Structure 1
């Protein structure tokens, strides 16, 4: 898992960032499954009198069909609009009155809801989550769907259509993954599909995916395990199991076999260039190595691309690289935002030169140690708070099939060698299978790009 224990664990956490591969760090948990298929994971931490409820539905935009996109993100909003025994607006009001906060998020693989609150409000959170799992359709109406449809369309306009470079990510995805691939489109979907969705379409999507046998509930913090189990059984036990949801798959071929070039015009001040590859899924061979490759290339002022493009040549304002890992496939991306008037072609040439060096010769021992320290520290510090641990348990459960995968995740980076990074760059970032994007400042063009 990438990217967010108490002081009691801090010495162990610091050790994890520097220790060799045999380091054993675990997040203790207990797991059970209700008769209706709901997976439940419990983690005790009595450091503070707080709890986190973290619920993952194993559905994201990657489960949507062409012509019916944006449903997963739409439901992220609809589930806050009231359910069978919770009036509209009461979900947030009741949690805030209890001293808690909550939110949700959606990506290509899952939809997540969480509540952070005092331990004496745990039962409230479980009631609220169970009510919208089991009784949402009782309160769903055309007016609620239309209202949230408009909210999502406005979010798309604000974050994509009217944002500088806002639609570049969609153009890249569409070029990199073929039509019908789960990651071909943005999670937010298209306005046309949102407009075309009927109430029956939306209800059908909920009945298919928002069922206990397609969800995992993590409860972490200052809990009594026996009492918590009883509360889970009380509120979630009566909810009926659904039919097994369809499993999302990637078509073959799942990506491109040639280099594609996208020349984008946008009403922006600064040129930008990007290179994007389809790369192995999260936790697959090569995934961790590419995380480290990204660090060597573009993280910190001593990284190769920063030094050449920003410091030495002074043609770039910023550089970034990352392995954006997902369940069926990942994307490795290099992005360079240039200074005003500087040449995109020169930047592309420099990036290719540095990539070619890394394909032919491994990074230095110092480079890989810096990359490893940054990456492992990031993994470790996301576990500092119980909220981060709850989400990690859910993430590892879905994506690795093991809620306790954290030590194995750390070990991936500890055992990666200089030769492994060279091999990953050579085999997984070839010049001939990528999307190259050049954004040219063009007055009068849409800010988002065309």
Structure 2
């Protein structure tokens, strides 16, 4: 039986995620499931609804054996950086046989067809991509159009499906995972299952497999958070153990967290930050710094600021990643440095059960990156790895400012948090 890797946000963990974990358990049996989990900021450019520690508890409760951190540098990033960061961690462990993920397509061969073209872009593809970008389209749309153009005229069922697959968010991430596996020359085998339930961005609440987006919107709209414990929609869409963790975190005064909780600090920072400093943030283009600064001056919330900057070329997710990159102290230069040095620089343990403990023992013999179990261990890292961990410290210090109870917002929590140990 293989050791299976999963890359996830669990924002929050719902029935669709539980279905995937149950499917993977049939593959992994007693060998184990290793989950690389997004840190406190997520790929859509937002703070996670719940902290990485609460979501680690959920992952372990739902069937993961070992949970590792995807640092905020990669977690709150474009699909390519997100996937490359996560795959670099799995590849470094020395124990992972396959990577399992959900997709709208459900056919790994179709996704591999698209990944083969995108992993090593030839001159024709790059020329078409540049032409699409010159039209003022976003990178994602431009790349979709370029791929479709390259595939046009080629025959085969997978070719036609591949051109369509890149329109769907989970397919896109899956393709990025396969690309990363190819670029790292990894022996990890990608496998996919058809995503069950509503679409990634769907707000439909009539199904027991509603999306994480719908669940977050539902929680945000509750007039009284004390109603979470008896909410029929949440009870029907989240595993009981995971809902209980959400209830516990709500009662603690920490969660749930939403982007607007950071409006004041983000608006203040962009209003006062020199334009050249804004220009040094990731995902920037010439002139965008002026749009961001002007929008910050004219807005009273994060949502309003985003709406004033968004265009067909600059989608909301990109603008939000820029905002929260600023909040956590990330720069384009540092992100490029991480990319040039293989992305991940260490393996951070967030939680484990008995099976996970055994996997951790195997990793200590086979891993190609240093393993951090206790936060103090980061001080022994090399310069770049230490710099990445220090960015994580700053990210957590920024994240906790969104906690609902002021008494919970103390800094330095990265130093005092230990891995979650689950006993089943």
TM-score for both structures, normalised by structure 1: 0.23
The higher-RCO structure (CA 8 Å, 6+ apart) is: 1
Q: Which has the larger radius of gyration?
A: 1
TM-score for both structures, normalised by structure 2: 0.24
Flag the structure with higher strand content.
1
